[in-house]
Amino acid sequence: MADCKSLGTIKREERVVAAARHIIETMGTSKNPTEDMIKFLSDFDICLSTSRASELSEKKGGISETEKRLDFAQEKIMIWDSDQSMRLDCNPEEASEYLQAINEVRRLTESLGSLPLNEDGEENELLRRAHSLLQMAMARLEEEFSHILIQSKQLLEPEQLSFCSSEDEIVDEESTISIDDDLAEDARVKFQRDSGRCSEEFVIDLVHPDALPNLKSIAEVMFMSKYDQECCQAYSSIRKESLDECLYILEIEKLPIEEVLKLEWSSLNLKIKKWTRAMKIFVRVYLTSEKRLCDQIFCELGLVNQTCFVETSKGSVLLLLNFGDAIAIGPRLPEKLFRTLDMYECLADLLPDIDALFSEEAGSCVRTECHEVLRRLGDSVRGTLLEFENAVRTNISTTPFAGGGIHHLTKYVMNYIKALTDYSDTLNLLLEDSNEEDHSSSSNSNGILEGDGEWRTSFNVSPLSRWLRSVTSILESNLDSKSKLYKDGSLQHFFLMNNTYYMVQKVKDSDLGALVGDDWIRRHNRKFQQHAMNYERASWSLLLSFLKDDGIFNQGSSSASRAALKERFRSFNLSFEEIYKTQTAWLIPDLQLRDDLKISISLKVLQAYRTFMGRHASQLQGGKNSDRYIKYSTEDLQNYLLDFFEGSSRSLNHAHKR
C-alpha cells in the first residue's frame, strides 16, 4: 500500500529526491561551493513547493470524490430512514439499491479509516459522517431483519400433527395397572405403549421460503459491517419467542422443579404423557427445522449458524429437560415406573438427534445436560424397581383373604411385571450393570432362591429375567405367610392353589413366559398341582373315609351292621353339609380351574358314594326313617357339587330337591 499514499504522491517524492541528488553531485565539482549551496537550496525549495502544491490539489480532488459518493449513499439511506413504510420485502429493486448504498458507506468507512487522519481534517469529518450513517443503516437493517422474521413466520398448528398421536388420546388415569379387570388393563397398557409411536421426523419451513433471500442479504451486510452480534441477537430474540409458542402449542408449561414435585399423581401422570409426546415433536420437527433455518441464513458466514441455533433453542430444550430432571429426583413410587420408563426411552431415542443438532462446542452444555438427565432417569428406574420389591416383601396382612381367592397383591404384582415386558430391552440395559444385592436379598449372580427354598442356577438368563424370578419368589413367600392366617388347613392350600395358578396363567399368556423360562412354568405347575392335591386331601379325606367298609361289618358276619351303616350315612351327610356350607363361599375366579376342580372332586366323591350305596343302601331302604340316613341320591350330590367355589355361602335344605 506504500504507507497508504497515492501513486502520484510517491512519484513526486521520487522526483524531488532525484533533483536533490543531482544538485549535490554538481556541487562536488563546483569552484564556488557557497554560491552553489545557495542555488541548491533555492531550487530544492521550488521543487518541494511544487510537489506539495500538486499533492494538495490531488488530495482535495480525492476528498471531493469521496464526499460525493458519501452524499449519494446518504441520500438513499435517509429516504429509507425517514419512511418507515418502506420494506425490503415489498420492493426488491429499491431494496437492492438500499443495500448497495449501505455497502458503499461501509467501503468508504474502511477506506477513510485506513488513512492517517488529523483530528480536525476533512477526512476525519467524512469518517465521522460515514460511521454515523452506517450506524443508522444498521439499526434500520436490524429492524427489517426482525420484521421479516416475524411477518414470514410459519408455525405448525395442532391440527397439522395428524401424523402423531392427537391430544385427545391423552387421558387421565390413576394407575397403569389394574387389579380388577385384566382385559381392560392389557388393552390400556398396549394403547399407552403404542400411542405416540409415530413418524415424527419431518422438516417444516419455519419462515416462508420467499423471505430467505432478504434475510440472507441483510445478515451478510450486517456481518460485513461488523454488526454480526446485533444480527444474531435479533434472530435469537425472535426465534426464541417462536419456540416458546411451539411449547405452548404442545401444552408444555414452565413449572419449577419444586412445583412439579408437589403435583398429585393424576396431574403428574398426564403431564408426563404430554412431555413424552412433545419431546419427540419438538426435537425431530421444530429443532430440526430451526437448525435448517439457521443454516439457510447464516451458513455462508462461518460457524455463527451453530452459535445462533444454540442460543435460540437452548432455553427451550433445558426447560423440557428440567421437567425430566424433576421426575428423576422425585419420589420413587411404583406407579411412576412406567411413565419414568416412557421418559427414559423417549430421551434415549432422541439422544442421537440431540447430539447431532448440538454437535459443536457451543452446544456442549445441552448435550451434557441431556446425558445427565437420561442417567438420572435410569437411576430412578432402578431405584423404583427396588422400591417395588420392598413393597411386595413388606405387604403385611392381619386378616385372611376372604374366600381364599386371588389376593389383590398377586393381581397387582403379576399385572405390573407383565406390563414391564414391553420395556424388556430398556430394563435389561438398566439392570445389566446393577449390583444384584441392591435389588433383592433373595438373588445373586449365580442363582435365584425360589419359593420352595431351592436355589436355581440362573446362568445365561437376562438381567430382567433374573429380576422377574426374584420378584415372583418374593411374592410367593409373602403369599405363603398370608396363607397361614387361615385356621383351616384345606383353605390354606386352596388359597395357594388359586394364587399359584393365577401366576402361572399370567406368565403363560404373555411375554413373561419367554423371560422367566419354561423351567419356571413347569416348576410352578407342579406347585399348583401339589396345592390342589393337598386341598382335596385336607377337605375330602374325612368325608371319603365314611364311605369305606372298614369297621361296619358285624363280627363274624359278611353283612354290615345297620347301626354302623346309619352312623356312616349320618356322618357323611353332616360332613358333606358342612363342606357345602363352607366351600360354596370359597371362590375360584378362573372358570377353567373351577370346573376342573369340581370334576376332580366329583369323580372321587360320586364314585365312592355310588359304590357304598350300591353295597349297603338296601339294608336301610324300606326301613323306618330310612330317608333320615340316605338323604341324597348320587344325582343330588352331583348337582350340589356344581354350587361349589362360587363365592356365595349356601346351606343344604333336604326339602329342596334338585
Residue-wise pLDDT for 323-380, tens only, equals 999 999 999 999 999 999 999 999 999 999 999 999 888 889 999 999 999 999 999 9
Q: Identify the residue with better confidence: 37 or 528.
A: 528
Q: Rounded to whole angstroms, how far apart are CA atoms 346 and 344?
A: 5
Alpha carbon distances (Å) from 575 to 281, 543, 652: 69, 6, 12
Domain 173-381 belongs to what architecture? Up-down Bundle (1.20)
Find how far residue 424's CA is from the centre of its chain. 16
How confident is the model over 18-43, as pLDDT tens digits? 555 655 555 555 555 556 555 555 55
User: Once rounded to an integer, what is the mean pLDDT over residues 64-90?
Assistant: 61
How confident is the model over 450-500, as pLDDT tens digits? 545 444 544 568 999 999 999 999 999 999 999 999 999 999 999 999 999
Burial class of residue 521 (count of CB atoms within 10 Å of its CB; 0-12, 13-18, 19+): middle
Nearby residues of 98 by Cβ (< 8 Å), 6 or more positions away: 76, 77, 80, 88
How confident is the model over 194-246, as pLDDT tens digits? 444 444 457 888 999 998 988 988 888 888 888 888 889 999 999 999 999 99
Cell of 320: 423440557
pLDDT at 489: 94
Lowest mean pLDDT segment, chosen from 106-110, 532-536, 654-658: 654-658
User: Once rounded to an integer, what is the mean pLDDT over residues 598-622?
Assistant: 89
Beta partners for residue 466, in sequence order: none
pLDDT at 85: 53
Q: Rounded to whole angstroms, how far apart are CA atoms 219 and 300?
A: 10
Q: What percent of the chain has pLDDT over 90?
A: 50
Task: For 342, list phi and psi in degrees, rounded to 5.
Answer: -60, -45
Tell me the pLDDT band of 60, cut-offs 50, 70 and 90.
very low
Fold held by 546-641: Monooxygenase (1.20.1280)
**Among 475, 485, 466, which Cα is nearest to 506's?**
475
The string of DSSP codes covering 468-517 is HHHHHHHHHHHHHHHHTT-SSHHHHHHHHHHHHHHHHHHHHTSTHHHHH-
Q: Identify the residue with better confidence: 437 or 153.
A: 153
Q: Is the pLDDT of residue 412 over 90?
A: yes
- Structure-derived torsion over alpha carbons of residues 381, 387, 388, 392, reported in degrees to the nearest 10: 170
CATH topology match: 173-381 vs 546-641? yes
Q: Rounded to whole angstroms, how far apart are CA atoms 202 and 240?
A: 21
- Residue 563: half-sphere exposure toward Cβ, Cα within 13 Å: 1
Domain ranges of the chain: 7-151, 173-381, 395-538, 546-641
pLDDT at 128: 73
pLDDT at 124: 67
pLDDT at 225: 82
Q: Identify the residue with better confidence: 31 or 611.
A: 611
pLDDT at 549: 82
Q: Are 214 and 145 in contact, with CB atoms under 8 Å apart?
A: no
pLDDT at 234: 92
Q: Cell match 397383591: residue? A: 409
- CA-CA-CA-CA torsion sign (158, 159, 160, 165): positive
Cell of 431: 439392570
Tell me the pLDDT band of 446, cut-offs 50, 70 and 90.
very low
pLDDT at 41: 54
Q: Cell match 350340589: residue? A: 640
How confident is the model over 294-324, as pLDDT tens digits? 999 988 877 788 889 999 999 999 999 999 9
> Which amino acid belongs to residue 264?
E
